[in-house]
């Protein structure tokens, strides 16, 4: 998706939406079978999961310059938010939306492969990420689409992303070289997270340092 965006295949990108739909948050037993501490987290959906997609938005479109967040708690047995809409302004006029709700699902045999679905829209076409990990491109004015990336077949969580990162980190530590993910860079994600919660609390858009 990054390659297609940066190559200009989509033209001028206007917006991206990610619909976070893991479908694991219903009922009194929500999360108890795998991560029971989720129920006690006072900051939940954004702090535990949403930051991963915020970091993805940064990777694709640069650091956001403003955020508006409307967060809510649907399942009363948990302490924190489990749903919400978060709108980011990025440089150049791009808008990204994280539409999260852990109580409903998406069309996928493995709901944890992508955790949801994405749509990136530009003046020359649109990209879609489906729950099986496939990416398709539809040119502007066309009905049919073209597959850019086939459905994922890895057995590990999230397309085996955790294993891939651990392997990269271990090789970096023992063989030297620059790691792709640095703690200093992630401090920016934490600043954005704080702005998300501040926006939800104040009920207004919050500016972020450029």
Mean pLDDT confidence for 176-183: 83
Q: Reply yes or no on whether the pLDDT at 183 is more than 90.
A: no
Mean pLDDT confidence for 141-159: 92
Place of tokens 């967060």: 71
For residues 93, 94, 100, 104, the Cα torsion angle rounded to the nearest 10 degrees is 120
Q: Identify the pLDDT of residue 176.
A: 85
Q: What is the pTM of this model?
A: 0.93
113 touches 135 (CB < 8 A):
no
CATH assignment at residue 44: 3.30.360.10
Average pLDDT taken over every residue of the chain: 95
Q: Reply yes or no on whether the pLDDT at 209 is more than 90.
A: no
Please give the Cα distance from 117 to 111 (Å, whole number): 10
Alpha carbon of 172 to those of 70, 156, 164, 166, 176: distances in Å?
Answer: 39, 22, 12, 10, 5
pLDDT of 31-80, one tens digit each? 999 999 999 999 999 999 999 999 999 999 999 999 999 999 999 999 99
Host domain of residue 147:
2-207
Alpha carbon of 191 to those of 18, 44, 66: distances in Å?
Answer: 21, 16, 12
Q: Domain count of the chain?
A: 1
Q: Identify the pLDDT of residue 180.
A: 83
């Amino acid at each position: 998706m990054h390659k297609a965006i940066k190559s200009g295949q989509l033209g001028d990108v206007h917006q991206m939406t990610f619909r976070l739909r893991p479908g694991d948050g219903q009922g009194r037993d929500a999360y108890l079978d795998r991560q029971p501490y989720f129920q006690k987290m006072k900051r939940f959906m954004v702090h535990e999961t949403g930051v991963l997609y915020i970091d993805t938005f940064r990777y694709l479109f640069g650091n956001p310059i403003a955020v508006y967040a409307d967060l809510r708690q649907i399942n009363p047995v948990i302490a924190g938010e489990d749903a919400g809409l978060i709108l980011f302004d990025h440089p150049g006029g791009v808008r990204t939306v994280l539409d999260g709700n852990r109580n409903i699902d998406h069309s996928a045999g493995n709901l944890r492969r992508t955790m949801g679905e994405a749509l990136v829209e530009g003046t020359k076409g649109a990209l879609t990420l489906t729950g099986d990990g496939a990416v398709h491109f539809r040119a502007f004015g066309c009905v049919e689409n073209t597959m850019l990336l086939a459905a994922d077949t890895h057995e590990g969580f999230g397309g085996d992303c955790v294993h891939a990162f651990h392997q990269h980190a271990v090789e970096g530590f023992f063989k030297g070289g620059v790691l792709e993910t640095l703690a200093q860079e992630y401090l920016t994600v934490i600043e954005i997270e704080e702005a998300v919660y501040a926006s939800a609390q104040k009920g207004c858009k919050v500016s972020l340092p450029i």
